[in-house]
Amino acid sequence: MKIKDIKQISSYGVMITPALVVDGTVKVAGKLPSVEEIKKMVQ
C-alpha cells in the first residue's frame, strides 16, 4: 500500500522518503532498495 498522508508517514518516525514499512516496522528510509534487499527484509 502506498501512503501519501504526511501525518501517517511521520507516525512511523519516517522523516525522509521513500520508505518501506513491513508489519509496522521501518525497514528502510531515504533510498529505494533493490529487489534483492527487499527480499532479505521480508524473509
Residue matched to cell numbers 533510498: 31
Does residue 1 belong to any structural domain of this protein? no
**What is the C-alpha R_g of the chain?**
10
Is 16 part of a structural domain of the chain?
yes
Please indicate, yes or no, if residue 22 is contained in any of the structural domains.
yes
Residue 43's pLDDT is: 81
- Total domains in the chain come to 1
Query: What's the pTM?
Result: 0.76
Residue 20 lies in a domain: yes
First to last CA, the chain: 19
Phi, psi (deg, nearest 5) at residue 29 = -145, 140
Asked if residue 34 belongs to a domain, the reply is yes
pLDDT digits (tens, 9 = 90+) for 1-43: 899 999 999 999 999 999 999 889 999 999 999 999 999 988 8
Per the structure, the complete domain to which residue 35 belongs is given by 6-41
